[in-house]
Amino acid sequence: MKPAQRISSIQPYFFAQLGKRITAMRSSGVDVIRMDMGSPDLPPPDAVVEALATSARLPTTHGYTLGSGTGPFRKAAARHYAERFEVELDPGSEVIDLLGSKEGLFILSQVLLNPGDLALVPDPSYSVYAVSAEIAGAEVHLMPLLAENAFLPDLGAIPADIAKRAKILWLNYPNNPTGAIADLDFFARAVEFARKNDILLAHDAPYTEVGFNGYQAPSLLQIDGAKEVAVEFNSLSKAYNMAGWRIGMALGNAEVVGYIETYKSQQDSAVFAPILAAGELAFQTDLDWIVERNRIYQLRRDAVVDGLHTAGLHVQPPQAALYVWVPIPAEETSSLDFCARLLEDTGVSTTPGVVFGKHGEGYLRISLVTELERLQEGTRRIADWVNKRY
Ligand SMILES: Cc1ncc(COP(=O)(O)O)c(C=O)c1O
């Protein structure tokens, strides 16, 4: 059976392949430590799980939620943005619930890009920005995220003709995979750039609630007038440890939110009502819970960073997100090979940087979603292996 052209060059999601290799290794008795994926290992707040159960016990919550069923969640999301970021949003037109933010990222490309259009995509980055553009038949212009620019794109380096053709500019801070952050000055410059070039700014922000040493990430929508040129995607996956629940949202420009809603209404039938109900409650999670959860991640971050130092792998401790971005030894030319050998020899699974784009070559990504002792053990295995070889 011949697939449609639009998917013929699409590769399977990297983690699906890796998962198969790890299952095989485990079934042959290898103690594999997973430090690759970004799926939180800790549970959501108890009250959120209770709210799910309570709502699921009602006889009235099992139908489709399309239409008015999603209203209370959208209101709660708008209230959350007002309280957390002082951003005012109309829940009726400027907020939409999603089956995880990943759904919205994919849909955005489908509703804005025609074949031959162009998307500006950071490199390295989450794969969906580029792949969704390719599936829409659009071109991708990569914006390198380099250590010397603190992993921010150099907007001034985008050629004028490319900026003119571009319809979407993607950003993601706190950043996956680099752990970099962006401040409001950078966001203001990005909004200005988008306005000047008539581009939609798409800010993917699922890590706003994961910060260390008290760091609280801003929203791009805090910039005056941002809503005229931007949408932001956010999610409950990392904020409240609800990755498997599939609940997120797009917020901002009403026209674009409307296009997403129309497309989505043909594609799926919205989030399960009890998950929406639990999601509403998640937004009320008290700050202490978030502070404590982030303290756990911070301990893990420090253990990884310190452990890597003993092998001469010097990394900047990230201030936010769930990842440590590690330069691999200079003599290695392929992060894919390096991580594959590391996995076979030590049983430690990390993500090769090149999976996130060509400017990710020379790095690997370690995720902080494994318990402290296992991360310590994994980092020790990496350090011993590196020390023996380099
Ligand atoms: C940058 C980025 N955006 C979006 C997502 C997807 O999040 P969600 O679970 O809300 O679909 C992830 C998940 O790892 C991510 O790293």
State the distance from the centre of ligand 1 to the C-alpha of 342, rounded, in angstroms. Answer: 26
| 118, containing H or E segment | strand 118-123
Q: Which residues pair with 352 in a beta bridge?
A: 364
Rounded CA-CA distance 38/40 in Å is 6
**Inter-residue contact 383 to 310 (CB < 8 Å):** yes
What atom in ligand 1 is closest to the CA of residue 37? Answer: 14
Percent of the chain's residues with pLDDT above 90: 94
Rounded CA-CA distance 325/266 in Å is 39
Closest residue to atom 13 of ligand 1, CA basis: 38
State the distance from the centre of ligand 1 to the C-alpha of 37, rounded, in angstroms. Answer: 11
**End-to-end Cα distance, the chain:** 48
What's residue 67's pLDDT? 74
Look at the chain and count its residues. 390
What's residue 276's pLDDT? 97
Q: Which residues pair with 203 in a beta bridge?
A: 171, 232
Contacts of 60 (CB under 8 A, 6+ apart): none
State the distance from the centre of ligand 1 to the C-alpha of 128, rounded, in angstroms. Answer: 9
Q: Which residues pair with 70 in a beta bridge?
A: none
- Of 126, 151, 356, the one to substitute when testing ligand 1's pocket (max ligand atoms within 8 A of C-beta) is 126
Superfamily of domain 5-44+287-389: Aspartate Aminotransferase, domain 1 (3.90.1150.10)
**Inter-residue contact 158 to 131 (CB < 8 Å):** no
State the distance from the centre of ligand 1 to the C-alpha of 102, rounded, in angstroms. Answer: 6
- Of 15, 123, 234, 237, the one to substitute when testing ligand 1's pocket (max ligand atoms within 8 A of C-beta) is 237
Closest residue to atom 14 of ligand 1, CA basis: 38
Mean pLDDT for back-to-back runs of 10 residues, the chain (390 residues): 88 88 96 96 98 97 87 97 98 97 98 97 97 96 98 98 98 98 98 98 98 97 98 98 98 98 95 97 96 98 97 93 96 96 98 97 98 97 94
What's residue 215's pLDDT? 98
State the distance from the centre of ligand 1 to the C-alpha of 239, rounded, in angstroms. Answer: 11
State the distance from the centre of ligand 1 to the C-alpha of 176, rounded, in angstroms. Answer: 9
Domain with CATH 3.90.1150.10 in the chain: 5-44+287-389
Q: Which of 272, 207, 348, 249 is nearest to 65 (CA)?
A: 272
**Inter-residue contact 102 to 123 (CB < 8 Å):** no
Closest residue to atom 6 of ligand 1, CA basis: 102
- Of 39, 99, 102, 106, the one to substitute when testing ligand 1's pocket (max ligand atoms within 8 A of C-beta) is 102
What residue type is 119 in one-letter code? A
Contacts of 26 (CB under 8 A, 6+ apart): 32
Task: Provide the CATH number for the domain formed by 46-282 in this structure.
Answer: 3.40.640.10
Q: Which residues pair with 118 in a beta bridge?
A: 139, 166
Rounded CA-CA distance 364/345 in Å is 16
pLDDT digits (tens, 9 = 90+) for 24-82: 999 999 999 999 999 999 999 999 999 999 999 999 999 999 777 899 999 999 999 99
Closest residue to atom 16 of ligand 1, CA basis: 176
Ligand 1, CB cutoff 6 Å, lining residues: 38, 100-102, 126, 172, 176, 204, 206, 235, 237, 243, 248
List C-alpha distances in Å: 113 to 76, 155, 173, 384.
30, 21, 23, 48
pLDDT digits (tens, 9 = 90+) for 345-383: 999 999 999 999 999 999 999 999 999 999 999 999 999
**Inter-residue contact 329 to 343 (CB < 8 Å):** no
Q: Which of 199, 198, 196, 207 is nearest to 233 (CA)?
A: 207
Q: Which of 383, 347, 357 is nearest to 36 (CA)?
A: 347
What's residue 255's pLDDT? 98
DSSP letter string, 95-109: EEEESSHHHHHHHHH
What's residue 66's pLDDT? 78
- Of 37, 235, 264, 268, the one to substitute when testing ligand 1's pocket (max ligand atoms within 8 A of C-beta) is 235
**Tokens 């798409």, located at residue:** 202
Q: Which of 295, 299, 298 is nearest to 287 (CA)?
A: 295
State the distance from the centre of ligand 1 to the C-alpha of 331, rounded, in angstroms. Answer: 32
What atom in ligand 1 is closest to the CA of residue 103? Answer: 11
State the distance from the centre of ligand 1 to the C-alpha of 333, rounded, in angstroms. Answer: 28
